[in-house]
Amino acid sequence: MLNDPGKQSETQPIEVRCYFVRERNALLVRGQFTPVYTDYYLHLMQHELRYEPDHDTLLKDAIAGLTLHLASRPWNEAAAWTLNFHDPLVNIFAAGSNRTAGVTGRIFTENVKSEGTQLFNSQITAAGEPVRQSSIEIE
């Protein structure tokens, strides 16, 4: 979340762990996101930005969800998610890569298109493979 790409984060890196529960045939993925949220709020303060509380929560949830998703995926993938909501009209964007162990996000409230349905759009890239895109309606 820092503006100087050469500078390391001022907070601790996070650790995301994946556990496969064989008896239940389930995958448990968890992480502690306090350092990410700390950098996020420092960035907002540095640039004097203020988001609506609901939008703020949606962005943090999208970043955490994408991070957990990437941790559970095969190595060398990058993903971008856009969540389009109509009431209020807002786009939540999150992107990340398990190659670089980086995530980012942004809230868009201006010039957001309303297509009549709320959508979750996903784009996945992996080295040597074509880009995969998918979209699904959300309520």
pLDDT digits (tens, 9 = 90+) for 49-73: 999 999 999 999 999 999 999 999 9
Tokens of 26: 């389930």
- Token couple for 4: 């100087």
- The average pLDDT across 83-111 equals 94
Summarize the chain as % helix, strand, coil (round to 5).
Answer: 25, 35, 40
Does residue 97 carry a pLDDT above 70? yes
Question: Phi first, then psi: what are they for 86, rounded to 5°?
Answer: -105, -20
pLDDT at 1: 42
Residue 32, C-beta contacts closer than 8 angstroms, at least 6 positions apart: 14, 15
pLDDT band for position 131 (50/70/90)?
very high
pTM of the shown model: 0.86
Residue with tokens 């957990």: 68
Q: How confident is the model at residue 81 (pLDDT cuts 50, 70, 90)?
A: very high
How high is the pLDDT of residue 2? 47
- Give the largest Cα separation in the chain, rounded: 50
Of residues 78, 11, 72, the one with CA closest to residue 38: 11
